[in-house]
Amino acid sequence: MAKKIKKVQDYDPVYAFLRHYVDFILKLSYRTVRYVGREKIPQDGAVIYAPNHTNALMDALVILAMDRKAKVFVARADIFRNRTLAKIFAFLKIMPIMRMRDGIDEVKKNQEIIEKSVDVLRDKIPFCIFPEGTHQAKYSSLPLSKGIFRIAFQAQELMPDMPLYIVPVGIRYGSFFRFRSTVRVQIGEPINIGEFFAEHSEQTTAEQMNSMKDVLTERMMSSIFYIPNDEDYDATYEICAAAVKQQVKNFEYTPEGKRNNPLDAHFVANRATANQILELKEQNPAKAEQLLKLGREAAQMRKAQRISLASVSIKYPILSRILKTLIFIVALPYMIPVSILYLPVKLLCMFLFTKLKDYAFRNSIRFLVNLVLWPIMMIIYSIIAYIALPWQTALPLTLLLLPAPIVAHEMWRLFRLAKSDIKLLCNSELRKKYRAIREILFSNK
């Protein structure tokens, strides 16, 4: 009997077991992970997820943790050249895909990948491809590549009796580079491929592909916090941060009268500010330029002083400063020894960061180091504790050490934010600029 060829989408008990651990560590890596609109995900057919791509590996992990279903991903083909890595990626249910930058001859090899992708979808395993083709750590978007549409079109032709959907997904991080930030994932309106074909039957395949590209672009952009990636990007982002707490008051409740989730309110408030700036550019260019000039100057001053945007957007600065300081002082006797024991992990991350050219990989590196190294260190520390101390003492010490990655990070975060708050408090000129930004922005209403 011929040996059955294992497919990337086949059930793997080891993979299924490790998924619980990976999802758990992912949720610990963020203060909040929120999914919005999961009820929109179709259950009657095959699904292709189309997320924006801003944070390297973390984007895939966030999509993976959306539910308990296994998912198959694609990644750029050049990282599969190492055989060992290729086996690891296959275990992780990741397939290679060629890009135009790899050359036209290499792109022709994608036919085999497309066929495997169709096989995945035929088994009703969710398939995920980042249609932007590459990542950028910005609240913006890149032109979509055609790979996702080629896969969708061919899959629908080979599965005429099975509904197939492209589901846009918008991922919004509180910070692209900070550990223990927040992440909000919004599911957009799915595109039914079969219905799309029927509605655009008069078009050629190329025209259908371009039409679907326009629809997906619009639906992805409606699911993200979008700022045009132009010369005004930094100024716009600075203005959004300066106005967000005041703007949030306008979105404290949903249209149905329910209190909005804080991440949702923050998301909608930032989108409203970005749209307000675009409207101001059209209706009053002189006033818009005055506002953007203040935004550019504020961003330049803030970055020069190494002041965090969190200090700018905080709602109750005085009370917050006092509360953070008290928490820091009370928890210091616990935080210091725990941070010292966690130091090897932190130092390894810092060393690996020096090897990175792209900052967007920082959180991915930090996640992987914590995923692998911290459990090993916990085993070592536990063995030492049980050898050196009675088990009645060793046990509580070991339990107290378990949350060290979070505690150590929160210690340094509170210290960093307290220092940043003091810098902003002492910088009257910068605070005047933020007040001027808010006055101009809200006087426009």
The answer as to whether 442 is a domain residue is no
**The domain spanning residue 127 has which CATH number?**
3.40.1130.10
Query: Residue 264 falls within a domain, yes or no?
Result: yes
Residue 253 and residue 167 share a domain: no
Q: Is 439 within the bounds of a domain? A: no
How high is the pLDDT of residue 105?
54
Per-position DSSP letters for 292-342, written without gaps between them: HHHHHHHHHHHHHTT--HHHHH-SSHHHHHHHHHHHHHHHHHHHHHHHHHH
| pLDDT value, residue 317 | 57
250 and 298, same domain (yes or no): yes
Q: Are residues 268 and 120 in the same domain?
A: no
Q: What is the mean pLDDT of the chain?
A: 88
What is the rounded (10 degree) CA torsion for 267, 278, 210, 151? -20
- Bridge partners of 184, per DSSP, are 34, 172
What pLDDT sits at residue 325? 76
pTM comes to: 0.90
In a domain, residue 407? The reply is: yes
- Looking at the structure, tell me whether residues 80 and 148 fall in a common domain: yes
| The domain boundary residue, chosen from 272, 305, 338 | 305
Asked if residue 234 lies in contact with residue 296, where contact means CB atoms within 8 angstroms, the answer is yes
Which of these three, 253, 273, 305, is where a domain ends? 305
pLDDT higher than threshold 50 for residue 1: no
| DSSP collapsed to 3 states, 150-207 | HHHHHHHHHCCCCCEEEEEEEEEECCCCCCCEEEEEEECCCEEHHHHHHHCCCCCHHH
Q: Report the distance separating Cα 133 and Cα 338, nearest Å.
A: 41
Q: Is 188's pLDDT higher than 90?
A: yes
Q: What are the φ and ψ backbone dihedral angles of 443, each rounded to 5 degrees?
A: -75, -15
In a domain, 388, yes or no: yes
CA-CA distance, 407 to 391, in Å (whole number)?
Answer: 24
Q: Are residues 357 and 243 part of one domain?
A: no
Same-domain check for residues 297 and 331: no
pLDDT computed for residue 269 by the predictor: 93
How large a percentage of the chain has pLDDT more than 90? 57
Q: Are residues 196 and 333 in the same domain?
A: no
Residue 107 confidence (pLDDT): 54
In a domain, 409, yes or no: yes
Picking from 162, 191, 221, the residue at the C-terminal end of a domain is 221
Confidence check: pLDDT of 415 > 90:
no
pLDDT (average), residues 296-318: 86
Q: What share of the chain is helix, strand, coil (3-state, %, to 5)?
A: 65, 10, 25
Q: Does residue 248 surpass a pLDDT of 60? A: yes
pLDDT digits (tens, 9 = 90+) for 379-397: 999 999 999 999 999 999 9
Per-residue pLDDT band for 9 (boundaries 50, 70, 90) equals confident
Shared domain for 139 and 188, answered yes or no, is yes
Does residue 169 or residue 312 have the better pLDDT?
Answer: 169
Band (pLDDT 50/70/90 cuts) for residue 141 is very high
Say how many domains are in the chain. 3
If asked whether residues 24 and 172 sit together in one domain, one would say yes
Q: Is residue 227 part of a domain?
A: no
Q: Do 49 and 191 belong together in one domain?
A: yes
Q: Which residue has better confidence, 321 or 335?
A: 335
Would 399 be classed as within a structural domain?
A: yes
At residue 273, the pLDDT reads 95
Co-location of 210 and 243 in the same domain? no
pLDDT the model gives residue 330: 83
For residues 408 and 339, the answer to whether their CB atoms sit within 8 Å is yes
By residue range, what is the domain housing residue 237? 233-305
pLDDT in tens, 368-380: 999 999 999 999 9
Q: Are residues 297 and 364 in the same domain?
A: no
Per-residue pLDDT tens over the stretch 84-124: 878 888 888 888 876 555 555 555 566 777 888 888 888 88
User: 127-128 and 191-192 as β-strands: parallel, antiparallel, unpaired?
Assistant: unpaired
Beta bridge partners of 164: 46
